[in-house]
Structure 1
Amino acid sequence: MKNVIKLFLPLVSLLIFSCANDSESDLLDPIPENVDDVNDDEIVDAVTFTADIQPIIANNCLGCHSSPPRNGAPFALVTFQQVSSRNGGVLRTVSLQTGQPGAMPPAGRIPQASIDLINQWIEDGLIE
């Protein structure tokens, strides 16, 4: 029995230590230096206009900011170009508390999660 243990112990040790990894870089995907070098399929967590922002705008803004604008709205927010060109103003006005001058939408503040998505979209580079 002792002979079996003497053979078994070195084999187990060899198996355990041969699977070790000393380099953290072998465990992580490399981070690209330039976002332009990343394939579109690799941008999983990026917030996009079509997937994330357009539904927020459609549900909260298009009642007035349609094309043509209604109810005294000064501009439309229908297309990517229209929304992206006014990104800072959209974020600022939806971030205001209900009742503050200029707060949008007039019916009440949108959920903070939606405001955070708009902010992330701007930080991610206004991806369509």
Structure 2
Amino acid sequence: MKIADFLSLRWTAPGQPLIEPPSRSPVVADPSFLLPSETPDQQFHLFAHTIWGIHRFESSDGNTWTHCGLVVRFGMRPYIRRFGELYYLYYERYPPFLMPLSWLPVPWRSRIEVRTSKDLRHWSA
């Protein structure tokens, strides 16, 4: 898919969410995705965070998504890229359970981490 192809897409159900928040989270946010031409299984892969961490979703058409589970606990704002044969998932890591308590006057402290994968399913620790 080229940029012009992507820009010419028209949605048949405007206003309908593509992805709902999973696992009792009120939010799913900051998606980062790979096109089928960038993945080993020729599927769309999308990574987004909830209050529990970063989740992976798959789609064959970019419109209907399947939740594939939690990839990183206590992570947010994912950014996925492929370099050579490896996929790099960059994300912001925060202390355990700080996200659900972020409305409290607690100081925020986080850092940037990265995990790698050869198949988008199994990730380094």
Measured against the shorter chain, the TM-score band is under 0.3
Q: Which has the higher strand share?
A: 2
TM-score, normalized by length of structure 2? 0.24
TM-score, normalized by length of structure 1? 0.23
Q: Which has the higher helix share?
A: 1
- Structure number with larger C-alpha Rg: 1
